[in-house]
Structure 1
Amino acid sequence: MNGCARDFVFPTLNGMPPIVIAHRGASGYLPEHTLAAYERAIEQGADFIEPDLVSTKDGVLIVRHELNITETTNVSDHSEFAARRTTKVIDGTSVEGWFADDFTLAEIKTLRARQRLPFRPQQFNDLFEIPTFEEVISLAKRESERRGRVIGIYPETKHPSYHRSVGLPLEEKLVETLKRHGWADRTAPVVIQSFETANLRALRKMTGVRLVQLIDGVGLGADGSPLPGRPYDFEAGGDSRTYADLLTEDGLAEIRTYADGIGPWKRYLVGAIARAGADESEAKLLAPSSVIRDAHKAGLFVHAWTFRNDPQYLATDYGGDPLEEYRQFYRLGVDGVFSDFPDTAIAARAAERNQ
């Protein structure tokens, strides 16, 4: 695998095809963040698999989209854990449920994963364990060797300020784990992402792997542009800037001092107008923004999220065809896409290559 890592060429700003990042694995088909979902994504041809990282009570990095494991596991069926249901304030928001940092790894391993979205397949619920970060790395390396191609990992540090506040910082464990596997510099098939900024700045001093500043939104305004919200470390530190401010010329230049790319919600690239409360199937697209061009000018690659086949996530302009959405973003020059359906993203990429 070391040879594969040395041969890895990261496709960015060099005319190479956009990469396909399996968002929580092939999560459109199987429960998210399970080894089965990652294996399916790899079978479908994904370039990267994306593990979101949270910590257990005993400091082990496991893979869940949120610290709150209520919706994505069968923890509610375990009477022995009933008393651990609680309320926590995470990133300034009060949340009720069961939380990974109240469980040891041994206890987490007694749980099984569930499909969070009711309109996706439910027959695989309660079949798969919750994987550790180590297990995901082992899978990526094993499959890279078996298939003769490099499969990268794209970990996200979830709620880094919260984790550090409770004595379970993610960054040191993450970097230590990557180093142990020989992944410490830009030859590594690794990208670390975060919605916060301070931990990315810290990571820049700790590792040479590529870093991505995620750009979030909290909805769409009346004019079709994203309502940006703010990185939590900005809120906690009294910084009034929003994610939109990070996409200005000055903001992008600042990101370039500590990161290699941006991961924006796709609505920052192509806005959409929809009536209040409507899903995206009723949204009408606006003209593309200049974000991709501006980011490239600043020397940053752009990996947009999230692309899904489910009809309610497809703007009306695409006529119910998810391939049309990918084609638009590929032609706009995006460097990568996060997809719940990697096979569809790859099919659209292949079709564009054959044009």
Structure 2
Amino acid sequence: MQPTTLIAHRGASGWAPEHTETAIRLAAELGADAVEPDLVATRDGVLVVRHDNELSETTDVAARAEFADRRRSQPIDGHELEGWFVEDFTWAEVATLRARERLPHLRPLGARQDGRDRVLRFDELLTLADETGLGVVAELKHATHHAAIGLPLDELVADAVRGTRWRAPGALVVESFEESVLHAVRERGVEARLVYLMEHDGTAADLVAGGDASAPTYAEQREDAALAALASRVDAISVAKSVLFERDGERLGTSDLVERARAVGLGTIAWTLRPENAFLEPEHRLGEHDAAWGDWTTEWGMLAALGLEAVFVDHPDLWRRVTARDAPAAPRSACPPPAAR
């Protein structure tokens, strides 16, 4: 069985603000095999590396008086959101913003680095990945929304990959919670492994937008017949880690999804592994504080035993420790996790 690929989730985002050059370089130092950027598009069609198309969670845009009038609300994938949206900005404007920690209440170390880095374009990230030897697992965010406003992500990704003359096209994976955009990317000639992201619950936004009242939920798409059909269209599924746990009474165990997917030729990827109590299964939390690190070694060990194709991890060095490979030391500047009480 092939070793599980270690994907640094938006870089080493447990140690530095996500999607920054600092986090990406650190991910390579800490033993990651690949980095996962989320991609959204500016008004003038530049792909930028941000968690979402709303910018205030991860940049200083809310503190910038010159952009105060850009604040608005709009529906995104069926949810009304308010803030500053990347599609209302040109790249030249986004380039003036500084990155911030998205989870400051859980990650004070990252918050202390607010303002250090600027926002990256996708082509810049490809160059960084090439330099550091990282593969790239690019997530296309809100593809149906972007297409509706004239910013088709499949076209922009194809242009970005061609434009960089990236030297490692075989190291590219493209993923999305919307299957249709994956096929559009391949139709544009992009060489990439296609991965279908699946929430625990809910239905894909492109299926909902299609108006089919009988559109399957993500859970229904994980049933045997649907998995077999998916295997003819994509290379792997990537699921919320909660999907891989199940309970027999009070005992926490793992589900058979990885086995069932493997049986039809699909790889299985899990997201996102984090050590803080806030993200662990209840059985693995220690103390009452969300920011405290719980029994993450037990939880991650259970997932490691499944033979996953890959995992998304915020702290790459911790996964290496669990899988007993030679793990680089954590950054010296890293403060210890808050003590559980």
TM-score, length basis structure 2: 0.87
Matched, 1:154 2:154: no
**Whole-Å Cα distance in 2 between the matches of residues 68 and 50 of structure 1?**
18
State the one-letter code of the partner of 1:325.
E
**Whole-Å Cα distance in 2 between the matches of residues 272 and 183 of structure 1?**
45
In the other structure, the counterpart of 1:300 is 266
Deviation at 1:96, TM superposition (A): 0.4
Match of 2:219 among 219, 238, 244: 244
Contact 1:285 1:317 survives alignment (8 Å) = no
| Identity across matched positions, percent | 40
**Whole-Å Cα distance in 1 between the matches of residues 247 and 202 of structure 2?**
17
Contact 1:27 1:341 survives alignment (8 Å) = yes
Matched, 1:119 2:96: no
Contact 1:183 1:209 survives alignment (8 Å) = no
In the other structure, the counterpart of 1:334 is 308
Matched, 1:202 2:184: yes
Gaps of 5+ in 2: 287-293, 328-341
Deviation at 1:254, TM superposition (A): 2.1
Match of 1:58 among 44, 56, 59: 44
Deviation at 1:350, TM superposition (A): 2.3
Secondary structure at the aligned position of 1:302 is classed as: strand
Contact 2:38 2:50 survives alignment (8 Å) = yes
**Whole-Å Cα distance in 2 between the matches of residues 254 and 192 of structure 1?**
19
Secondary structure at the aligned position of 1:62 is classed as: strand
Residues 39-50 of structure 1: pairs in structure 2 closer than 5 A: 39-50=25-36
Gaps of 5+ in 1: 1-14, 145-150, 218-227, 274-283
**Whole-Å Cα distance in 1 between the matches of residues 142 and 209 of structure 2?**
12
State the one-letter code of the partner of 1:327.
G
Residues 96-115 of structure 1: pairs in structure 2 closer than 5 A: 96-115=82-101
**Whole-Å Cα distance in 2 between the matches of residues 285 and 336 of structure 1?**
25
Matched, 1:231 2:192: no
**Whole-Å Cα distance in 2 between the matches of residues 285 and 22 of structure 1?**
30
Match of 2:253 among 272, 287, 291: 287
Q: Note the alpha carbon deviations across 1:263-321, whole angstroms, 9 max, x for none.
A: 00111111369xxxxxxxxxx66332111001101111111011001122222444623
Matched, 1:261 2:227: no
Secondary structure at the aligned position of 1:332 is classed as: coil
In the other structure, the counterpart of 1:309 is 275
Q: Note the alpha carbon deviations across 1:143-190, whole angstroms, 9 max, x for none.
A: 22xxxxxx10000000000000000111111122223445699x6101
In the other structure, the counterpart of 1:270 is 245
State the one-letter code of the partner of 2:278.
Q
State the one-letter code of the partner of 2:240.
W
**Whole-Å Cα distance in 1 between the matches of residues 148 and 12 of structure 2?**
32
Contact 2:130 2:166 survives alignment (8 Å) = no
**Whole-Å Cα distance in 2 between the matches of residues 182 and 109 of structure 1?**
23
Secondary structure at the aligned position of 1:155 is classed as: strand
Secondary structure at the aligned position of 2:302 is classed as: helix
State the one-letter code of the partner of 2:172.
V
Secondary structure at the aligned position of 2:170 is classed as: coil
Q: Which moved more, 1:314-323 or 1:125-134?
A: 314-323
Deviation at 1:139, TM superposition (A): 0.5
In the other structure, the counterpart of 1:346 is 320
Residues 314/92 of structure 1: CA separation in 2 closer, same or farther (3 Å cut)? closer
In angstroms, what is the RMSD of aligned CA positions? 2.1
In the other structure, the counterpart of 1:166 is 149
Deviation at 1:22, TM superposition (A): 0.5
Matched, 1:17 2:3: yes
Count of aligned pairs = 313
Matched, 1:177 2:122: no
State the one-letter code of the partner of 1:115.
E
**Whole-Å Cα distance in 1 between the matches of residues 164 and 232 of structure 2?**
26
Matched, 1:75 2:61: yes
Contact 2:73 2:81 survives alignment (8 Å) = yes
